[in-house]
């Protein structure tokens, strides 16, 4: 597979600044006319509308994009969590000179508001006071509509993770149907997907040069609509991928001595711009058109919405075209127009990453959110900010390729790392300027804690690769797994004056960690605050193969290394493993075996993660279609692979009940299921039994999924008191381990990690 001859993109710092650069950086990007006047502005060049409260920190998308555009010389305003019931809230900053940028926030608005059981969440971690209901469902659509009503002639660019994961016809879990691309439904002018700095800077400068937004059809990392006959589509070669099980191209056998004309005889005088024919060399070898001028046509929306097999096929093709080094453009028909998706953006270089993260962030919520004492630590506290308040993001991207996760689809699989100096500068700035810093850094991480500066050994191989994961089914031999740069950074950071401890709060990829005993030693000795979270997700081969996760044996190996290093350091430290219930490909027997493993190893999970079909994920395609896109798609029953899908409230509840085998509320359901499975031998009062025969009085605290999201949640039941762990028993936070003191909290009921990443 050849790579695209990718031209080196223009660096973020290579643009001539816009004239408004003379105003300099703002303490906070303005959210009101009064703030604009204080800055000396008469108008904004760009206005960003977001579903999150405005926190000026590099972990929040609106701040990153806003500050990046400000550094280019543009005047950027923020409209955060506006009242969407009126157009007035979208006029507060006046008319933007260039465009509106619209994003739902750091999370998809539907995932932000609803649980995996489609229950309404009672809070919102991205809102002051954690208050729920401050953003609409499908916020990108609603905000775009209001922007259009406010100023009809202003271009609108949508982005953020909601737009990124809905850039194509996608299965929507909440409506249980395939929806159109969010670009079509919103009627925005342009969609930017992935980390958008490179694309949004180019768009802003070209619009500032008075190019019409309709002409911006060549920006990588964007999607746009085209009508039939659009001259900008001339010169593209289209590959038809609208069907499965179609035989490949059949060519007549060619003599190596045959003279074959090389003119473009297919282009007539009437159609001089018709697609050029495939060239045939004298050797008989077929020469395909250049990949950078090839577009793959996917099945139309009108087809995939009613054909799950073709939906899975389209999902497979999309995921094969995600490597910036060789991805081709995609096109999908929506009604009378084509949705075009350009290849992904070229990843940022380390100097560009440093530029983005070194911008003058205030590292605090906007002053308008402060309470009567001018504080953000009490009634108006923003939980998501509190979680990352004393953390530092060192990299982006993930090459794990977990099928249920949205990181790769959004950020890409190529790791983009900051320099060590940039990270150290941020720690020092946080130490010196951020209120409440106690000397404890809560995290040096990112989507994954230990992928910093890890990547392919060969740029040529990396550019040509189409594998969905670099670590599944095993670690690729071309992957450089050295943790030395990360170890060096850890040691330098913990030696800084005023820094008492550097903790690692991001999820750890333990199959990579075991490749570096020195890293495990450094991590366990100096950077674990009592417990460390990792995510084996399951113990059984069936579901693990659908997740693209390593076998449980790798976890066992890491556990041995972790415990040995803890003992050598004279510390009592514990692993917290996370597991997923009801993932596609998981049988009832798989969950039973996982429950037996949990009991054998002394785990009693209080937090249960149920599979959540997020838009565009490979596992979501499995959920909707019952097919496995990882193995290829076919209508032939003897080809491809069907997937066991966990549907229905009762079965989903059963799978969660196996994870919480220790909860007496679940015992009646588990007894019934175990008997039906022929495993009544697991019912009894001995140590080797999963659940007892007796049934105490329970409160029946399980709450079924609502059919209508309009009622309030019942009060949560009081948690069962955990038994005192036996000597030698593996402990987790679920068995009574005290909360780790990090100097930063995290949203109640949320899974630890970076906001909006999972």
Known binding residue 402? Answer is yes
Return the H-helix or E-strand segment holding 178: strand 177-179
The backbone torsions φ and ψ at residue 144, rounded to the nearest 5 degrees and listed phi first, read -60, -45
Known binding residue 398? Answer is yes
Burial class, 500, CB count within 10 angstroms (exposed 0-12 / middle 13-18 / buried 19+): exposed
Place of tokens 């490979």: 618
Pairing between strand 337-341 and 329-334?
antiparallel
Residue 511 · residue 450 · CB < 8 Å: no
Q: Name residues whose C-beta falls within 8 Å of residue 223's C-beta, 6 or more positions apart in sequence.
A: 167, 168, 181, 183, 190, 191, 193, 339, 340, 341, 342
Residue 440 · residue 500 · CB < 8 Å: yes
Select from 89, 78, 75 the least CA-distant residue to 40: 75
Burial class, 231, CB count within 10 angstroms (exposed 0-12 / middle 13-18 / buried 19+): exposed
CA distance 452 to 395: 6
Q: What angle do CA 372, 376, 380 make, to 5 degrees?
A: 75
Burial class, 293, CB count within 10 angstroms (exposed 0-12 / middle 13-18 / buried 19+): middle
Residue 653 · residue 702 · CB < 8 Å: yes
Known binding residue 147? Answer is no
Q: Which two tokens stand for residue 348?
A: 């940022």
Cis amide prior to 614 (ω within 30 degrees): no
Pairing between strand 170-172 and 177-179?
antiparallel
Q: What angle do CA 51, 56, 59 make, to 5 degrees?
A: 75
CA distance 549 to 400: 8
Residue 83, CA atoms < 13 Å, CB-side half-sphere: 7
Q: Which residues are annotated as a binding site for [4Fe-4S] cluster?
A: 398, 402, 405
Q: Which residues are annotated as a binding site?
A: 398, 402, 405
């Amino acid at each position: 597979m050849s790579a695209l001859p990718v031209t080196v993109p223009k660096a973020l710092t290579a643009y001539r600044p816009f004239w408004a650069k003379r105003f300099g950086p703002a303490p906070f990007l303005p959210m009101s006319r009064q703030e604009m006047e204080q800055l000396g502005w008469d108008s904004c060049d760009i206005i960003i509308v977001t579903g999150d409260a405005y926190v000026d920190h590099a972990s929040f998308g609106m701040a990153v994009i806003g500050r990046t555009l400000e550094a280019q010389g543009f005047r950027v305003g923020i409209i955060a969590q506006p009242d969407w019931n009126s157009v007035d809230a979208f006029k507060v900053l006046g008319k933007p000179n260039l465009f509106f940028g619209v994003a739902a926030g750091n999370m998809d608005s539907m995932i932000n508001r609803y649980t995996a059981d489609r229950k309404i969440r009672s809070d919102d971690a991205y809102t002051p006071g954690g208050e729920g209901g401050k953003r609409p469902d499908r916020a990108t659509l609603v905000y775009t509509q209001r922007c259009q009503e406010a100023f009809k002639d202003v271009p609108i660019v949508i982005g953020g993770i909601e737009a990124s994961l809905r850039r194509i016809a996608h299965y929507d879990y909440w409506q249980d149907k395939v929806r159109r691309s969010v670009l079509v439904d919103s009627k925005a002018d342009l969609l930017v997907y992935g980390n958008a700095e490179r694309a949004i800077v180019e768009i802003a400068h070209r619009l500032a040069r008075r190019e019409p937004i309709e002409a911006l059809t060549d920006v990588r990392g964007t999607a746009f609509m085209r009508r039939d006959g659009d001259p900008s589509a001339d010169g593209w070669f289209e590959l038809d991928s609208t069907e499965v099980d179609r035989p490949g191209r059949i060519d007549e056998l060619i003599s190596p001595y045959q003279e074959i004309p090389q003119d473009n005889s297919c282009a007539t005088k009437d159609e001089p711009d018709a697609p050029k024919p495939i060239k045939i060399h004298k050797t008989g070898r077929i020469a395909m058109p250049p990949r950078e001028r090839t577009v793959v046509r996917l099945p139309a929306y009108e087809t995939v919405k009613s054909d799950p097999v073709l939906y899975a096929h389209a999902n497979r093709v999309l995921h094969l075209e995600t490597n910036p080094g060789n991805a081709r453009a995609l096109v999908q028909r929506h009604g009378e127009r084509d949705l075009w998706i350009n290849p992904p953006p070229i990843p940022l270089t380390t100097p560009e990453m440093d530029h983005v993260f070194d911008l003058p962030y205030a590292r605090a919520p906007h002053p308008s959110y402060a309470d009567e004492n001018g504080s953000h630590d009490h009634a108006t506290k923003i939980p998501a900010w509190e979680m990352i308040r004393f953390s530092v993001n060192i990299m982006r991207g993930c090459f794990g390729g977990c099928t249920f996760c949205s990181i790769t689809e959004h950020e890409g699989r190529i790791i983009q790392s900051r320099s060590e100096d940039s990270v150290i500068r941020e720690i020092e700035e946080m130490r010196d300027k951020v209120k409440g810093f106690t000397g404890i850094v809560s995290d040096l991480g990112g989507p994954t804690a230990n992928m910093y500066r890890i990547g392919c050994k060969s740029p040529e191989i990396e550019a040509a690769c189409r594998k969905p994961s670099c670590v599944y089914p095993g670690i690729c031999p071309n992957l450089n797994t050295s943790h030395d740069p990360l170890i060096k950074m850890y040691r330098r950071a913990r030696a800084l004056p005023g820094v008492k401890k550097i903790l690692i709060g991001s999820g750890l990829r333990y199959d990579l960690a075991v490749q570096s005993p020195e890293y495990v030693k450094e991590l366990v000795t100096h950077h674990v605050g009592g417990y460390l979270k990792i995510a084996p997700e399951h113990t059984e081969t069936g579901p693990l193969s659908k997740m693209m996760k390593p076998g449980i044996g790798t976890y066992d190996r890491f556990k041995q290394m972790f415990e040995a290093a803890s003992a050598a350091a004279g510390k009592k430290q514990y692993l917290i493993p996370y597991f997923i219930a009801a993932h596609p490909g998981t049988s009832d027997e798989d969950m039973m075996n996982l429950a037996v493993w949990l009991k054998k190893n002394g785990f009693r999970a209080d937090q249960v993660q149920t599979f959540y079909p997020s838009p565009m994920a490979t596992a979501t395609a499995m959920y909707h279609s019952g097919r496995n896109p990882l193995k290829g798609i076919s209508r032939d029953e003897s080809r491809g692979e069907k997937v066991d899908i966990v549907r229905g409230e009762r079965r989903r509840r059963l799978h969660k009940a196996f994870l919480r085998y220790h909860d007496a509320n679940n015992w009646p359901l588990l007894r019934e299921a175990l008997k039906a499975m022929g495993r009544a031998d697991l019912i009894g009062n001995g140590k080797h039994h999963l659940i007892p025969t007796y049934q105490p009085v329970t409160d029946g605290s399980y709450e079924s999924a609502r059919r209508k999201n309009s009622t309030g949640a019942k009060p949560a039941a009081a948690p069962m008191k955990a038994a005192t762990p036996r000597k030698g028993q593996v402990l987790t936070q679920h068995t009574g381990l005290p909360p780790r003191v990090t100097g930063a909290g995290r949203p109640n009921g949320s899974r630890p990690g970076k906001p909006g990443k999972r």
